């Protein structure tokens, strides 16, 4: 089964068609059977205001946006909800159903308060639950996060690093070699996917679409058209994701994620 390790869904921000129903239609056409879902950025913070100050209204919006993903209970797809964390480091909202963390900002956007003690305690909780973190950040912050803050935490760099300083900067910094650094293929060029696999292997690489920015069908075709060794292709298209999620600690039988989906999904009966 194909698993999309990177897609955004929400219903508060209406600037794009990005509801779960929008995603599910496209996933069905691409034979995607499971998906890791994150909130859309505009439901989490105001990315256009560098000096953005948090407000109760934004905290509520974040809470509702993250809760929407937990509420999804579709018959046709297994959903792995990831918690989109921001500067209130609201890890008390983490539930057993959460399968990972989304950590996201671009240059020019309000910055994460890495020196806030709440950041450290959030990371401690993330480490304890063994939740993977999808980290999209500027290059310098990516380095600091991986080298100084994320010891013992699996970090997934999306887009093969395109928005974390670039694929080559990550190579030069020696990050792709690290056992706890994974990657997804969303919107990365076929040449970079091929080069990553040649140099670093396929074990820590996962297919992702970055819906609604990427089209699940064509992102999947991009991987299939590489004509990888079939075993390697199967790992990239889902096997690696399952291996990553099996490590996540939860007191819930069947692991994190949508429970109805779980009963039909790849972790069923575990």
Catalog residues that contact Zn ion under the rule CB under 5 A.
210
Q: How far is the CB of 7 from Zn ion (least distance, A)?
A: 8
Closest residue to Zn ion, judged by C-beta, is: 210
Instruction: Give 219's strand partners.
Output: none
Q: Shortest CA distance to 186 belongs to which of 161, 155, 153? A: 161
CA distances from 191 to 185, 188, 198, 216 (A): 11, 8, 11, 19
Rounded least distance, CB 6 to Zn ion, Å: 6
Smallest distance, Å, CB 160 to Zn ion?
13
What contacts 24+ positions apart, CB below 8 Å, involve 48-57? 49/110, 50/108, 50/109, 50/110, 51/110, 52/110, 54/86, 54/87, 54/88
Pick 210 or 235: Cβ nearer Zn ion: 210
Task: Specify burial of residue 198 (Cβ count, 10 A radius: 0-12, 13-18, 19+).
Answer: exposed
- Smallest gap from residue 133 Cβ to Zn ion (A): 13
216-224 and 20-29 helices cross at what angle (nearest 10)? 30
CA 44, CA 87: separation in Å to the nearest integer?
10
Q: Which is nearer to Zn ion, 109 or 210 (CB)?
A: 210
> Shortest approach of Zn ion to residue 45 CB, angstroms?
14
Specify the residue, 6 or 204, whose C-beta has the smaller distance to Zn ion: 6
Cβ nearer to Zn ion, comparing 8 with 61? 8
Q: Which is closer to Zn ion, CB of 187 or CB of 236? A: 187
Q: Report, in Å, the least distance between residue 125 CB and Zn ion.
A: 23
H or E element at residue 80: strand 78-84
Judged by CB, which is closer to Zn ion: 210, or 219? 210
Residue closest to 90 by CA, chosen among 78, 102, 80, 81: 102
Q: Are 78 and 34 in contact (CB under 8 A)?
A: yes
């Amino acid at each position: 089964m194909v698993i999309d390790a990177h897609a955004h869904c929400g219903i508060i921000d209406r600037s794009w068609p990005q509801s779960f129903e929008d995603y599910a239609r496209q996933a069905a056409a691409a034979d995607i059977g499971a998906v890791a879902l994150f909130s859309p950025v505009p439901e989490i913070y105001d990315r256009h205001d560098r000096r953005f100050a948090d407000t109760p209204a934004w905290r509520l919006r974040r809470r509702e946006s993250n809760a929407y993903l937990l509420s999804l209970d579709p018959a046709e797809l297994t959903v792995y909800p990831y918690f989109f964390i921001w500067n209130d480091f609201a890890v008390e909202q983490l539930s057993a159903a959460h399968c990972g963390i989304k950590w996201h900002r671009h240059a020019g956007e309000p910055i994460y308060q890495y020196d806030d003690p709440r950041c450290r305690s959030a990371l401690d909780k993330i480490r304890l639950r063994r939740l993977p973190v999808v980290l999209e950040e500027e290059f310098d912050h990516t380095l600091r996060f991986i080298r100084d803050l994320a010891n013992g935490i699996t970090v997934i760099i999306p887009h093969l690093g395109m928005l974390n300083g670039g694929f080559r900067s990550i190579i030069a910094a020696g990050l792709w070699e690290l056992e706890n650094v994974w990657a997804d293929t969303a919107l990365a060029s076929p040449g970079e996917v091929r080069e990553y696999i040649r140099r670093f292997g396929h074990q820590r690489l996962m297919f992702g679409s970055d819906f609604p920015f990427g089209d699940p069908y064509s992102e999947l075709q991009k991987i299939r058209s590489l004509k990888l060794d079939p075993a390697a292709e199967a790992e990239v298209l889902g096997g690696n994701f399952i291996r990553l999620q099996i490590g996540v600690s939860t007191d819930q039988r069947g692991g994190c994620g949508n429970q109805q989906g779980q009963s039909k999904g790849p972790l069923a009966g575990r």
